[in-house]
Amino acid sequence: MIHIKIKNKSYGELNIFNNAELVINEGEFIAIKGPSGSGKTTLINIIGMLDQDYEGTYIFDGISLGDKYIKQYRKSFSYMFQTPFLIPYLNVYENIIMPLVNKGLKVTKPDLDNILKELNMLDKKYSNVNILSGGEKTRVSLARAIISDGKILVIDEPTGNLDPTHADIVIKSISRLRNLYNLTVIMVTHSNNFDHYYDRIVKIERGKLVDVN
């Protein structure tokens, strides 16, 4: 489905990727690992078509992406960013449906309440997001990504500020919802506790991408 070759990605003098290659098949659950600063967020911004500022090629469903296709294919993605980026004057529910509202779409996934329940957030559905804890904000941003319409979910470190119990809940939810909605999931994580959930683990090593299992 996706075949990316990053010949060179640098920020000024700082080289992040050189001749890194990644294939993503439809329906896969892929974990991206690597030390802090190795380029995980950079990589998923490239995968999610948010960053085109690199030397290389991106093939999506057999089509080589130039500028003119990016907009069309970016719709395939839903994002959960490392920082939740919630809208402070909207409540939890309004934040979650925001990407759909922006696109003029309705909520088509019927189980939003189930998702919130699973994430232990149902009782906060109408709370203002300002009062939420860091871990609760993370879970709202995950629910927002899942309820959105993209078939490919790009997730940046969902368990970073969660305790082990909630980290487990979050990864289980991602795994279940991925099966339910036939999503492809590319997820950045530092944790080694959930490796059995992934189809593949890809590690960033000295600017290259290496399959580890």
Ligand X SMILES: Nc1ncnc2c1ncn2[C@@H]1O[C@H](COP(=O)(O)OP(=O)(O)OP(=O)(O)O)[C@@H](O)[C@H]1O
Binding site for ligand X (CB under 6 A): 11, 14, 16, 34, 36-42, 82
Among the candidate windows 37-45, 67-75, 97-105, 176-184, which touches Mg ion by CB under 5 A?
A: 37-45
Q: Does 189 bind Mg ion (CB under 5 A)?
A: no
CB 44, min distance to Mg ion, A: 8
Closest-CA residue to 54 (of 71, 64, 42, 62): 42
Q: Which is nearer to Mg ion, 32 or 49 (CB)?
A: 32
Asked if 65 and 59 count as a contact pair (C-beta separation under 8 A), the reply is: yes
**Contact string 40-69 vs Mg ion (x = CB under 5 A):** xx----------------------------
CB 36, min distance to ligand X, A: 3
Q: Which amino acid is at 58?
A: Y
Helix axes 134-147, 92-102, angle to 10 degrees: 30
E strand map for the chain = 2-11, 14-24, 29-33, 55-60, 63-64, 77-80, 152-156, 184-188, 200-205, 208-211
Q: Which is nearer to Mg ion, 82 or 175 (CB)?
A: 82
Residues that bind Mg ion (CB under 5 A): 40-41, 82
